Structure 1
Amino acid sequence: MKRSTKGALAASAAGILLLGGAGSLAFWTADGDANGGSITAGTLTLTDGTCDAAWTYAAGSAGAGNTVALFVPGDVVTKQCTFTVGATGDNLTAEVDAPASVEYTSAPTGTSLSLTAASTFAITGDPAGRALLDGDTITSADGGETITATFQVTIPFGTDETGAPIINGNDTQGITATLDALTVTLTQVQS
């Protein structure tokens, strides 16, 4: 091999070693960004109830539909309250907690007052006025609909004063019975 060829090979080898030891060979690169955008959460709300101004006598009882001024044993009275549902979300499902009975207090206490306070619920929408039971579910399709709670208080006809126990006796005259607050709750459940 000629001396010039050997020298050229040696110079090439030295150049390669110099490049390898000093860094790497350059090549092209490019970057691109993608804006991931944003996502927005839905909502689940329920307004406080708006109730009828007065109690009325229930259908099927004496004075049905008339405003209650002063109740007596044997009466059945009713009142309605409405709540508005706010429900948005692609896959929103919420369970309804709607108690079927309501507690009450009376003033004065310690009387023979005995009554039952029941509540039923319905929601507007499709089907119109469908019953809504404790444990039922609503979805975002029910957003903007109205839940109507109907209270029905039954004051049974009393016993005479010799009854044991006395129910709705003379000591209940002039008392005031107040229903405790009714709380309707919507709780999201997994769809």
Structure 2
Amino acid sequence: MNKVVKGTIAAASAVALFGGGAGSLAYWQATANTDGLLLQMGHVEMYRTGAAGYAFNDESVSADTLEGGTWLVPGDVVTYSQSYQIDVRGTDAVLRVPELDFTGTPDYVLEAIETTLEVIPNGAYSQFSATNEARAFNVTGYGSFTVRITIEVPEELEDDEPMVDPINLTELQLTLTQVAEPLPDAVG
């Protein structure tokens, strides 16, 4: 090996040892740890409780009776009731109930009937309050509520058309969603 190459290697080694070359200097080190955490996620749960209730003119009936052998005339009232249990762990859940859906029911039939949809809390909750959004409720805690749907053929119904077409109420899909913040409460 020639003297120039040997000199260059020696000079580079001296720079690495004394000049702070990478990985060649010793250093001191200390460590510290954070605390571990086990965090529980909030959750929502909603399920139907008990059997649905059906009433025809304030008399309990079965769904089969209503669908198979009951012909509505002016003055008749049909009521459907179903209870739901909810469990909201954490805060800020919103229960949304869609509007009644009568897909497949002719307009002249819809114009002749009166309908109501009620959401009724059963017992105490941390919170169950109406919001400024239609059919939406801020809910926290554990409890139950009932959905009640009423379909009425008014007594004073005077319509030239014969009511030969049925009323078709489609099922509703209720939604319980945990959100970052509750909806604003209803005003008025």
**3-state SS of paired residue (1:148):** strand
- Residue 180 of structure 1 corresponds to 170
- Residue 30 of structure 2 corresponds to 30
The two structures have a TM-score, normalised by structure 2, of: 0.59
Q: Closer, same or farther in 2 for the Cα pair 1:151/1:112, shift >3 Å?
A: closer
Identity %: 20
Alignment partners' CA distance in 1, 2:172 and 2:27 = 73
- Residue 11 of structure 2 corresponds to none
Q: Does structure 1 conserve the Cα–Cα contact (< 8 Å) formed by 2:53 and 2:82?
A: no
- 1:166-187 deviation per Cα after TM superposition (whole angstroms, max 9, x unaligned): 3xx4x325x5422122232233
Please state how far the C-alpha of 1:121 moved relative to its aligned partner.
0.5
- Aligned partner of 2:121 among 115, 120, 123: 123
Structure label with greater radius of gyration: 1
Structure 2: gaps (5+ residues): 1-16, 182-188
Structure 1: gaps (5+ residues): 1-18, 58-63
Q: Closer, same or farther in 2 for the Cα pair 1:102/1:119, shift >3 Å?
A: farther
More strand as a share of residues: 2
Displaced runs of 4+ in structure 1, greater than 6 A? none
- 1:33-75 deviation per Cα after TM superposition (whole angstroms, max 9, x unaligned): 3453332321123335865253332xxxxxx334364432221
- Residue 93 of structure 1 corresponds to 92
Pairing 1:190–2:180 present: yes
Name the count of aligned residue pairs: 151
Please state how far the C-alpha of 1:151 moved relative to its aligned partner.
0.6
The one-letter amino acid of 2:59's match is: G
Q: What is the Cα-based RMSD across aligned positions, in Å?
A: 3.7
- Residue 146 of structure 1 corresponds to 144
